[in-house]
A = this chain, B = another copy of it.
Amino acid sequence: MLRTVQLLGGLTAMAFNADAAFPDCVSGPLANNGVCDASLDPLTRARALIGEFTVGEKLNNTGSTSRGIPRLGVPPYTWWQEALHGVALSPGVNFSAAGDYSYATSFPQPILMGAAFDDDLIQAVATVISTEARSFSNVGRAGLDFWTPNINPFRDPRWGRGQETPGEDSFHLSSYVRALIDGLQGGYDPKYKRIIATCKHFVGYDMESWNGNYRYQWDAPISMQDMVEYYMPPFRSCARDSNVGAFMCSYNSVNGVPTCADPWLLNDVLRKHWGWTNEEQWVTSDCDAVQNVFLPHEWAKTREEAAALSLIAGTDVNCGTYYQNHLPAAYAQGLINDTILDKALIRQYSSLVRLGYFDRPENQPYRALNFTNVSTPHAEQLAYRAAVEGIVLLKNEGMLPLDLSGNRTIALVGDWANATEQMQGNYFGQPPFLHSPLYAAQQLTTVYYVNGPGQGDPTTDNWLPVWSTAAKADIIIYVGGIDNSVESEGMDRVSIAWTGAQLDVIGQLAEYGKPMAVVQMGGGQIDSTPIKDNPNISSLLWAGYPGQDGGTAIFDIITGNAAPAGRLPVTQYPASYIAQVPMTDMTLRPGPTSPGRTYKWYNGREVYPFGYGLHYTNFTASIDEESFGPRRNMSFSISSLFSSCNASSNKPQYIDRCPFVTLSVNVRNTGNQASDYVALLFSSGEFGPRPYPLKSLVAYTRAHNISAGGLQTVGLNLTLGSLARVDDRGNTVLYPGDYSLMLDLQPLATANFTLTGKAVVLDYWPQPPANRKPVGVPGLPEGYFTGGFGSTTGPEQKPVGVKT
């Protein structure tokens, strides 16, 4: 018999935030409860509230659809709003059909914003998003916690959700996410948070479905070295360096343990090791990841145990209803108690306290926001600028910037030519407008438009109009690539070549011998070798998912009204890459069955490398020799670096943050057009454990609008942490050795220095317990859910990297 059914039989229907209000702390039942006393600290206030809950009321409020407690005047609350690149459609967000609150600013997808390499831009974008979120919240159209960012590194080019991330590099992501959270939450520890950001998916989540392995079931095998070096840094940045309000544990398990039921991960690493000990912070499960702890992970032998283990491990909010279904029986069985329940509830409600949820609105600046603060001219301009800054020029043999004088006409061809919703990727809201490439082109000249051949099935049905269109125009621009029909949540790509019959159409268009450019759209890179190598195609741009004003941004770049300066935030691998490494191989370093992952380790020849991007002008650069000190000493003793850091009045809390040097870099625009310039600084050298990465990004910044012939000086900060390597136990270590620094891909400037003395551990990594195994679910055949690789009869089908 299901005890849960009887216990929960009297539940009322779900409520939505649209109907929600802030609690009435003046004349409601809570008025005299401590939670309404703004003079108390948030934890005390939350405890006072929870103290009034019956056990049933506690159990009723453990899911993402928190039912509230009418008796106490606690309103229902939906823990689940999305804002990946603008306030987005989600359970807790409610756009109106028309008029006020019917739209919010829609920025580019993070993958394109990542290509801007501009943390200030990201901070500004995030500030707009949190402002608009608050405006929606103030009229009951949104809650206050937003389940963004997705900050898993974009490990494999197939990943359908790579578009949601800023790219493949962990250092880049760590820096980006700090700026983002600052903008979303309103600083490191503000009195009132603007909103709560939620770093997801913790951890090792970067595959939807590959060859029978799917995200709900997949057990990611990750070495401690890869874990700390690659998978963890963005999350450490969230927790330790950005004080993010919430985390989300992921669907997958890691090294055998479902993340939502892993106390090592959620307690030892996240809370203890990273000092994320503020009880106003909580962890939510990914949606129904607690159910997955039971099935398909079979981590627990009963449903009650799955729920209890997750709650105890530190999953404070259950997206879904599994807690509400099964914690009552778990409670009755003694698997949890009030102390455990209270901890989760106190975290939830104290976080609401920190959002001013229980405070009078009068003194809260964010409570004054309304629709006049949404989609402002500033916000619209920022959405445009974010797209412009991200777009990457990959090939240009002189056609661009495009000269349209003499009324030259354009044949605009491709699936994306009239893109509207496509430009938003996934997790989008309702934008104020969607300016397609076609719209933008039509503002400039006569355009002959024809939809492309499609990305899925090859079909020649609509090809005949393509030829007649191409024949009559002066210039051919093809805007295509991929979109969420081939890369999306739940769907990884099975090919990283151009999809469908696009290459055939592009090849035929090129045969016209007219000036021709291709705009490659989509989040994951596709192998553009045939376009790169086709002498009849002059130019190639990558424009990701550029958001509401994407068409304008693309055509402003094409015509030179804006200067391209974006850089690829991921490697563009050859199409054959995915045959060389199973998606389930989580290792970064190359090996007998993998050419390695990311620009740091990939030992093959990429089509376009990470960090690649052309300009309409040329740059030179030099590193100020005094950056390393007035005596230009290029040798440093590790011990003295530490002692001087420790002696500093500004001594950082974590020693990896100790400053090393700030490189002063002089960038000169030697061409004829003003342009931004992204300064990417890489280190390389033979220090620390073998093998050595080819190079590592250690600092970046974006200089804006360097005038033709002009000079700008930018500073690139290096810390001891940015020079460190990770050993095989996951310890972060500063090693002696010869270090090389290179500015840009074909280095515009270099600097070499030496660290001497003994290696020093900057961070001792907490080791996970050994031998953690799922218990299995009675009645299920062994390996029932293990998909493609639950049991194999020979080594031939066994992919590298699957747990053994």
Contacts and interface: CB of A to CB of B under 8 A. Distances in A.
Interface of A: 1-2, 4-5, 8-9, 11, 209-214, 216, 287-288, 291-292, 294-295, 303, 320-322, 324-325, 456-461, 463-464, 467-468, 470-471, 490, 494-495, 497, 501, 503-504, 507-508, 511-513, 527, 529-530, 533-534, 574-576, 578-580, 582, 592-595, 779-781, 783-800
15 contacts: A9-B471, A209-B494, A214-B494, A291-B504, A320-B461, A495-B787, A507-B779, A529-B780, A575-B784, A576-B784, A578-B788, A579-B786, A579-B788, A593-B794, A593-B796
Contacts of A320: 459-461
Given A320-B461, A579-B792, A593 B288 contact: no
B460 A503 contact: no
A530 B578 contact: no
A789 B460 contact: no
A579 B791 contact: yes
A7 to B, nearest CB: 10
B529 A784 contact: yes
A2 B514 CA distance: 12
Copies in the complex: 2
Contact of A501 (B295, B527, B781): B295
Contacts of A580: 791-793, 797
A791 B456 CA distance: 23
Given A464-B321, A579-B791, A1 B796 contact: no
Contacts of A527: 784
Contact of A508 (B303, B457, B512, B800): B303
A210 to B, nearest CB: 8
A148 to B, nearest CB: 19
A667 to B, nearest CB: 36
Contacts of A791: 576, 579-580
Contact of A790 (B322, B512, B575): B575
Contacts of A11: 464
B211 A785 contact: no
Nearest to A607: B781
Contact of A460 (B212, B288, B529): B288
B2 A530 contact: no
A785 B497 contact: yes
Pairs A-B, 3 closest by C-beta atoms: A5-B467, A320-B460, A321-B460
Contacts of A287: 457, 459
A5 B779 contact: no
A303 B458 CA distance: 15
A459 B461 CA distance: 39
Contacts of A490: 456-457
Contacts of A1: 511-513
A591 to B, nearest CB: 9
A9 to B, nearest CB: 6
B788 A494 contact: yes
A468 B8 CA distance: 9
Nearest to A511: B2
A497 B298 CA distance: 15
Contacts of A576: 781, 783-784, 786, 790-791
Contacts of A325: 460, 463-464, 467
Nearest to A323: B460
A322 B460 contact: yes
Contact of A463 (B321, B460, B574): B321
A307 to B, nearest CB: 11
Nearest to A593: B794
A258 to B, nearest CB: 13
Contacts of A593: 793-794, 796-797
Contacts of A213: 494
Contact of A458 (B212, B291, B463, B793): B291
Contact of A467 (B8, B792, B794): B8
A216 B781 contact: no
A175 B610 CA distance: 58
B295 A503 contact: yes
Nearest to A785: B497
Contacts of A456: 490
A582 B357 CA distance: 55
**Most chain-B CB neighbours within 10 Å: which of A209, A325, A784, A786?**
A784
A781 B575 contact: yes
A576 B787 CA distance: 7
B464 A574 contact: no
B209 A458 contact: no
Contacts of A321: 460-461, 463-464
